[in-house]
Amino acid sequence: MNSIVITAIIGVTLSIYAYYVEKKHEKNANYKAFCDISDKASCSVAFSSKYGKLIGISNSLLGIIFYLLVIVLFYTYKEFIIYLAILSILCSIYLAYIQYFKIRNFCLVCTAIYLVNILLLIFSL
């Protein structure tokens, strides 16, 4: 298996976990996820913030769709992956800024996804 596909599978897995935590937290505000380390290091805080959705769609769900698209494109139109990787880096920079400076929180899962996007760009070059 190619490094792009493996990286995208990791991205899908992280995004599915993020979506799971988000939905569990919506149903039960007291739900404590594995990635909720402290008050200042909590993925639930990031996922449930007003920045956790784009036009009403969960960022986690968008991540699942994104990484599945990367996998499909790998087997059909590889040349488009670089553009998606660049887009993912731009989104990661924006979301990291929001996470660290607006929400003032450290999200372990989010940071892992940023790393996945960096690797995706490196491997697509």
CA-closest candidate to residue 52, choices 89, 103, 88: 103
Torsion of CA 85, 86, 87, 92, to 10 degrees: 90
Q: What is the pLDDT along the chain (125 residues), one digit of tens a residue?
A: 699 999 999 999 999 999 999 998 888 878 888 888 988 898 888 888 888 888 889 999 999 999 999 999 999 988 899 999 999 999 999 999 999 999 999 999 999 999 999 999 999 98
Structural domains of the chain, ranges and CATH numbers in brackets: 3-27+34-124 (1.20.1440.130)
Of the CA atoms within 13 Å of residue 49, those in its CB half-sphere come to 18
pTM over 0.85: yes
Q: Using CA of residue 10, residue 69, residue 117, residue 125, what is the dihedral sign?
A: positive
